[in-house]
Structure formats: structure tokens, C-alpha cells
A and B are shown apart, each in its own frame.
Chain A
Amino acid sequence: MSATGDRWGIPETRFGVDNWLCGAIATLLLWGLIMVASASVAQATKLTGDPFYFFYRQLLFMAVGGAGGFALYCVPMRQWQRSSNWLLLFAVALLALVLIPGIGVKVNGARRWIDVGLFRLQASEPVRLALIIWISAYITRRQVQLQSSLKGLAMPIIAILFPCFLLLCEPDFGATAILLGVVFLMLFLGGARVHYYAMIVGVAGAGLALIAVAAPYRLQRMLNFMNPWADVENAGWQLAQSLIAVGRGEWTGVGLGNSVQKLLYLPEMHTDFIFAILAEEFGLLGIAILLSLFGIVVWRGFAIARAAELDGRRFSAYLCYGLSGWIGLQALINMAVNMGLLPTKGLTLPMISSGGSSLMTVCALIGLILRVDYENRAAAGGVVSTENGARERPLRTDGARAQGVRS
């Protein structure tokens, strides 16, 4: 169509977007912004004197993340598929970098962040995205082996064991768990044989259990999450405060802004435990709506993936399954942690929690899902698919066709 569109490959909007998905995501992001403003007032005042410090940061990250997500939306899927091995390398390099003292920043005994000036990048966020892209590419490449042999299933798992090991060195148990969960979900959807699968799941589960037992602080955490009231002033403090926050919510909550637990009683109230504040302010009704919104995101994500799968673009399909599953899984785990069903792991609530790395990664991830949807729609519009690696840009054909149709 336009010269700019041609040159930069900016997708046209004429095929529309998935209204349910975009609606749910917009609602979640907006709600998240409001919740960050509400939950962080006391903490922001205490740390900086400006009650809206975290809100402004979140706004900035949302702008940066939105721009980044849009940039990713413009990148054809085949580019990712083609560079998936580089991404694996990038992931390992980043994880190694963060472990180097001086580059990696240590907070609360964990070296998970790289200071990039404006904010601290949590390495595990882009790493997980990169690894999931690599896994999608792997499934696309070796789906026959995956479906028929143990080796086909074991290969990708062995490949991500090293990044997982580096993640555990930080340590970042939560990110590792999410990554493994998503990888298994993708391999399962890729058609891994169920009995191999069950076996590997068993081995991985045993391995995780071993790791948890080997590091005593994790064991301590696991124990106190069972009964936070036993040592409520120390080890159980955070979870007890989180449970109190949720419990205060009742059916409809104490009202936006009226949370008391956010007033420095609940640590990490605007990041990992923002769900508890949301539950306090909006009650069971709010939780139900939040779950529904995440449900819509996962449902539409899977629908888009399914469409791509049916259309034969398997890389897009598995990536989309993985990303949607990631959002759903992390949201569920975060809520479960907030309500004392799982041990505290340091996972954010996607799209709601304050934090640059998390928010920008989620934006990127949304950009990718929407790109898959765009390519689905473009294909359904009768446009030449780019899946076979044709040099021809889809946009030009689009534009040409569209003009042709119109004229």
C-alpha cells in the first residue's frame, strides 16, 4: 500500500484483530496500571516520597513495552523460526552474564537482575521467551521424531537443562518451574508420546523435588507456606499478610484504594503480591473477573494457535500455544502463591504486577500472539503465506491484491 508500509513491513490493520483477546488484554493492562498505583502508594512514599513513583514507572514501561510489542508484531514469524538457534545462544549468554558479580545485581540473596540504567532487567524474562521460541522451532523441525521416539522428546529437554541450571544458580526457582511447565505443555501439544512423556514428567518432578530439598531455605519456605501462622512474625509474615488481605476482601472487596494491607504490612505488595491487594480491594467478584479475563486470553491464544495449526503453520501454532500457556500458567501459579496454595517463588502476575522486565516481556509476548493472529487472518484472506520462506513480502502482495480487488 504505502511506501513506508512496504519498506518496514508494518502490517496492515485491514484484517482486523481478535476483539476478545485485545479487549481482555487492554482491560488487564489498564486494571494492572490502576492496581499498581493503588498498591504501591505506601511503599513509593516510603522509598521516594512520591506516592505515584511506581505508577509513573509502570506507565513508562507500558509505553516502552507497547512500542516493543508493536515492533515484534511487525516481525514475520519466519524470522523467529529462522533465528531460533541464535536465540538459544542469546538466552544462555544472558543467563551466564547475570551470574557475573558486577554485572548481575544481587537483591535479597538472589542475583537475577542486570542494571540497564532506567530499570533492572530480570534476565529470566527474555530468556524464557527466547527458549520458548526455540522449543517451537524444534517442534516444527522434528515433530516426527518427537511423536515417535524418546530421543525426539529428550533432546529439547536436555537442551534447556543447561539454561535451567543457570537459572537455578541465580537462584530463580519460580522462573525455572514456569519454563519447564511451558516446555512440557508445548511438547505435549506437539504430540509427544504419552508414556514417554509421563516418564519424563516423573523424572523432572523428582529432580525439582530434590533441588527443593537440597537448598534448605527453599525447604524452609515450603514448610512455612503450609502454616504461615506458626511463625507469623518472621517466616510466615508475608503469606499471613497476604491471606489476611485476601480474607478482608469478602464478596465485593473493601473498595479500590481502601486496602490496609498495602500500607507496608504486606511485603512486595505491588509486585509479586499485588493479587492479594486486588483481592482485598475487589473481593471474590474481582477474582472471578480477573480469572475470566485470563481465561479469555488463554482461550483466544489457543484458538489462534489452533487456527495456525490447522493452516499448517506449526511454528506459529506451537509458539502461540506456549505463550498463551505461559500467561495462563504464571497467572494461576501467582494466584495460588498469593493464597497459600503453593510456596512463594517470586513470580509476577502477568499484566498486573509492577515491574519493567515482566511488563515488557508480556507486551512482547502479546505482540507475538497478535502477529500469529495477523498471519492467520492474512492467510485466510487468501494471501500467499510466508511460511515457506518465499522472498516475497506478504504485505506487498496484500496491498496489490487489495488494490486489485477494489479496482
Chain B
Amino acid sequence: MRARRELPHPPPAETVGGWRRLFVLGALGVGAAIVLGRAFQLEVIDQDFLAAEGSKRFIRNVTIPAHRGAILDRRGEPLALSAPVETLWAVPQALLAKPQYVDAVARMIGRQPAEFRKFLQARIDRKFVYISDPMSPSEAKRVVALGAPGVFSDPSYARYYPAGEVAAQVVGFTGRDGNGLEGIERAQEAQLAGKEGSRRVIRDRSGNIVEDNLEYKPAQSGEDVQLTIDLRIQYLAYRELKEAVVKHDAKGGTIVIVDSATGDILAMASQPGYNPNNPAERKPPGTRNRAVTDLYEPGSTAKPLLVSQALELGVFQPTSTIDTAPGWFKVGSLTVRDEHDDGVMSLARILAKSSNVGAAKIGLTLGAEAVWSGLQRFGIAEPLYLSFPGEVNSVVRNYSEWGQIATATASYGYGWSTNALHEVRAYSAIANDGLMPHLRLLKNAAPVPPQRAISARTAREVRRMLETVVQPGGSATRAAVQGYDVAGKTGTARKLSDNGTYDSSRHEALFVGMVPAEQPRLVGMVIIDEPGDGRYYGGLAAAPVFARVMQGAARLLQISPDGAISPDLPAPSAPSSGTPMMVKVNARAGQ
């Protein structure tokens, strides 16, 4: 069975000891034990450290962008919207490794292949480079579908401003990271901004997500913000202001329309403007919301406030007259001048003719403290509490620092400054039978009860006087609105020059008014800054803008007409053409 034969070949050698074999096996065994021990050390003892080191490299927190709330006008029309977009990014090294894709990608994102390759080469060490502007998701999908290695897209939201320049300064804009930088976008950041969500993913080394269910925190959308702005009126205001600024070759302009009963700001526009959809245009002066940020000396538009105070204190009566002859009047070194010498005038006539001499005499009769406290009545020194970025407060020195000259000038609106919203608020008190409303820009803001500035009787008296300003013989006949009685006041303020004196060639043309005069619904203010065509009177430059905007606004808001239809005025529906309809409407109808 088992045949074993001694082999005769080759030369006999010593039998090798079995210990050598065991020694070698033992050595290998020791090696195996060391390997196993090391494996134990790595996989059990150092496991936490190593796993953490690994996670550091491939676990990424991907933020999920939150949808930013929209900004709407009072009727729900969008002023600012967020739409989903995708931004392409690349891992340059991965993309350059496949040159055939580089050109295709470059063409699809509209870049020159050579330039694109250079762009990637310069960033070869980076793991994340944006290669496109935000684009529509479908467009980005097409590029990603090329299958180019290392090309990915990130979702985000882009902000669009459907109203464009019309409401630009009010709405403001967001920066590249989506935070509000100006206007309501900035003021209401907390409400508009949502909370970003996040998810933890595992990425392979080229950036592909390979595992996506580690942890998920959904994004929370921001809330919409509804403004008191009525886009229709805002558009009217914007259009007419812009036209006037161009027509009068002016530096700028401001218009504010307020609901006098509620204090809701229905329109607020400034010129020059900017297109918020174009980041390149987002810079001053276009971005300035002048109604809030710009101070000016109110000039003659301050006179109704003075007259209100005079009546309220009982020092003057509606029937009081003042002798303004000879058309000028010396207070110390100051000479107060009127355009014409109108002799003895009633208070209404002083307002209608905008007599500085008359205003100065009233002011000096009342005294510094009474003039000053008259302004306080109308909240001139009280903040607006709109929390709009850039909001400024009026600058009014305390009456204790006023001398005769300061009292006289303050009476006709010089020596103190305010902004358009303050003045509109003050006129709202006159419009609202003495109750001064709190101005509102946010529709859902908690209502603040109005405060009484003057008595209802005084308010009505002053309104009646202000009607004469717009009536024939007044300084603002161009402010008249077809079908409505208008009360208002012009102002033509010289601007301060750099050396502190008044510049005779630079003016602010102002008009503040209310419609309908009998029981006003709307208060509006128009400022044309530095008309360059010589027609710098408030009655010429600002009043027509007021008239056209109010004409449209009254119709849009279906405010019952209270005035006569005059053949001299443009028709309500077509501001500049057509035959006016000769209809006498009952003044109180529908109220």
C-alpha cells in the first residue's frame, strides 16, 4: 500500500530541526497577533477619534434656505417676492479633470470656454466655487444634467420687486445673503426672514451627496408684511412726481399721501429713484426715502400751524385783521418782506396770499413760547415711531433761545426744520378735526389712538381759510381738483447755502393739502427740490402734482365729491385732455 523509498539523490544533508519551522510559524503568529491587536486598538479604543476625523471630512451640514416673506400693499399686491433659484457651483479640480465637459458647461452658462477654464485653473485648490449667477431651477437642471463631474447647484431664493422703482425707497432691498439692507426689507427683517433649515449629509470627495437621511431640520418660512401703501395711489404719486421733477428740471422730489383719519400712509415716493431689481443701481441718492430722511425748512407751509395756535389760544379770532402795510416790516436787523403790499388782511387772506409780514406780526403778538408750543401741539418735535431706517426728527430750538428775530422767522417757517411726514401728520390734525393720528406704514400694526392737537372748531376754521388758498385769488389755484374742494397751503422755501446764508437761486417748492376740504379723507404733501426752470413757487411746481394725484386717488378710493365741477379744471378721468363734464354734485352725498 504505502511504499516509501530512500532517494539516492542529492547529497545527504542534516535533517533540519523542526523548531525552525515552529519558529517561523510562531513569528508569523506573533505578527498576526500584533495586527489583530492594532486592529483592536483602532476599531475599539481609537474608534471615537477616528470616526470623528472621518465625519469632519465627509459629513456636511447643508443649509436649506428659508423662504422670505413677501411685502404686500394694503390690497395684497406684491411689492417684494422671493422666488426659488439655483446657483451653480463647481469643484474646479473635478471638472478640469474632464476637459470635454468644461466647454459644454461654459457654453450653457454663457461664458467663454477659454475664460472659464482660466477661471477654474485659478481656483484649482478650492473645493467650492460659484460658477454662475442665480438662475431658474429648470435652467440649472439642464446644466447639471450634462453629468459634468464636480458641477452642482445650490437652491436659494432670489428677491424680486414687481413694482420696481415705483415703491423702491419704501420697500428697500436685500443684500446678496438675503438680509434686508434698506427700507421695509431692513425694518421688518425679523418678520420677513424665515429660519434656515439644515440637513446633515455625507458627501463623497467630489462633492456628490451619497447619504441624505442623517438629520433634517426643515426651514421655516418668513411671514408676509402688509403695508398701508396702496400701490395704485403709489403709482400715481410716483408717476406725477417723476414727471414734475423732469418738467421742472428739479434735483429731486418727495410726495406723501396719508389717510387723515387713520394715519395710514397710502403713498410715499421720492425722486430720483432706482430700480431695486438691478443691484448696480442700489446706491444713494436714489435709495433715499426723502419723506423720512430729509429735513427742510417748511417756509410758508408752517403758517397754518401758527394760525391754529393763535386761534386756539384765543388771541386772534377768525374775524381778526392785521395791517401788513407797507408790505415790509422791520424786526431788529431783519426786514420781513411780502411780495405785494396788501394792506389790512384777514387771517384767511394772510394764508391765501402767504403774507410773511402778517405771520411775523401774529408770531410776535403771541410771543416765542406760544409759537414754539404751537409747533409742539402738532408733534413737530415728537418722533414718528415708524421704525423706518434713516428716520430723522425735526430740529427746533427751545423757545428760550429765541429772540424777536427767531420768533418772527419761526412764524413763517424758517429757523427750524422738519421732514415731510412730520408736516403731513400735523396737517392731518387739521384735516381730522383736531385729532392728530399716529402715522402707520404697516397695515397690521396695533392701532394707536389719535391725540388731540387742536379743537375741532379751530381745525374747521383753519380748513376754511386754507380753502381760499386754492380758490381763485389764492396762491395755489393749480391745486384745485375737479369735483372736490381742496384746502391746502403752498410754500416756497429758500435753501441754505454752504456759507449759512439763504441762497436766492435754490428753492424748495412745497404744497400741503387735503381733500375734500369739508371733511378731508386724504392729506398730501409734495416737495419739488430745487426746480431749475425758474418756476420755483410751491403753487407752480408742487401744487399741480398734488392736484393730479388727488384727482386719481379720490376716484380710486371712491371719495364722494363735495365741490363744483369747473370747466377750468381738467376732467377727473383724463388729467390733461378731454371735455370737462358740467355736473354739479351734491357736496355731502354718500357721506
Which A residues contact B (CB, under 8 angstroms)? 42, 46, 140-141, 143-144, 147, 185, 188-191, 229, 240, 243-251, 260-261, 263-265, 279, 283-284, 287-288, 291, 294-295, 298-299, 302, 306, 309, 311-314, 321, 325, 328-329, 332, 335-336, 339-341, 379-380, 382, 385, 387-389
Contacts and interface: CB of A to CB of B under 8 A. Distances in A.
Nearest to B58: A260
B16 interface: yes
Given A141-B10, A263-B58, A188 B35 contact: no
Interface string B23-67: 111001101101110111011101101110110011000000000
Contacts of B9: 387-389
Enumerate the 7 nearest inter-chain pairs by beta-carbon distance, A residue then B residue, closest first.
Answer: A247-B50, A263-B204, A264-B205, A143-B13, A244-B54, A382-B3, A191-B16
A306 B21 contact: yes
Given A240-B53, A291-B32, A382-B2, 5 more contacts: A247-B53, A248-B50, A283-B43, A302-B25, A388-B7
Contacts of A294: 32
A321 B10 CA distance: 19
B347 interface: no
Interface in B57-88: 57-58
B57 to A, nearest CB: 6
A244 B205 contact: no
Contacts of B6: 312
A406 B334 CA distance: 147
Given A248-B50, A248-B54, A263-B205, A339 B38 contact: yes
B43 A251 contact: yes
A260 B49 CA distance: 16
B166 interface: no
Nearest to B208: A263
A325 B29 CA distance: 12
25 contacts: A143-B13, A229-B53, A243-B46, A246-B43, A247-B46, A247-B47, A247-B49, A247-B53, A250-B43, A250-B47, A261-B54, A265-B58, A265-B204, A284-B39, A291-B35, A291-B36, A302-B24, A302-B25, A321-B21, A321-B24, A332-B35, A336-B35, A341-B34, A385-B7, A387-B7
A288 B50 CA distance: 20
A247 B54 contact: yes
Interface string B278-322: 000000000000000000000000000000000000000000000
Contacts of B42: 243, 246-247, 279, 339
B568 interface: no
Given A191-B16, A309-B16, A265 B43 contact: no
A81 B35 CA distance: 35
Given A265-B58, A388-B9, A247 B43 contact: yes
Contacts of A302: 21, 24-25
B560 interface: no
Nearest to A266: B205
A28 to B, nearest CB: 15
A380 B1 CA distance: 9
B35 A185 contact: no
Contact of B39 (A46, A229, A339): A339
B53 to A, nearest CB: 5
A394 to B, nearest CB: 13
A205 B219 CA distance: 63
Contacts of B12: 144
A284 B83 CA distance: 51
A245 to B, nearest CB: 8
Contacts of A46: 149, 206
B115 interface: no
A243 B50 CA distance: 7
Given A141-B10, A247-B54, A189 B20 contact: yes
A141 B11 CA distance: 8
Nearest to A190: B16
A290 to B, nearest CB: 10
B202 interface: yes
A299 B58 CA distance: 41
Given A248-B50, A263-B58, A332-B31, A188 B20 contact: yes
B28 A328 contact: yes
A122 B204 CA distance: 30
A329 B11 CA distance: 31
A23 to B, nearest CB: 19
A244 B16 contact: no
Contacts of A147: 13-14, 16
A44 to B, nearest CB: 13
Given A140-B10, A248-B54, A263-B210, A295 B32 contact: yes
A332 B32 CA distance: 7
Given A189-B24, A299-B25, A306-B21, A144 B11 contact: yes
Nearest to A298: B28
B6 to A, nearest CB: 7
A50 B538 CA distance: 79
A249 B43 contact: yes
B39 A287 contact: yes
Given A291-B35, A382-B1, A388 B202 contact: no
Contact of B35 (A249, A283, A341): A341
A211 to B, nearest CB: 23
Contacts of B23: 188
Given A248-B51, A261-B54, A325 B24 contact: yes
B14 A191 contact: yes
A305 B11 CA distance: 20
Contact of A260 (B21, B29, B54): B54
A144 B13 contact: yes
B204 A189 contact: no
Contacts of A265: 54, 57-58, 204-205
B8 interface: yes
Contacts of A185: 24
Contacts of A245: 54
Contacts of B3: 382
B176 interface: no
A341 B38 contact: yes
A251 to B, nearest CB: 7
B330 interface: no
B5 interface: yes
A251 B6 CA distance: 53
A243 B11 CA distance: 52
Contacts of B36: 287-288, 291
A311 B5 CA distance: 9
B5 A191 contact: no
Nearest to A292: B32
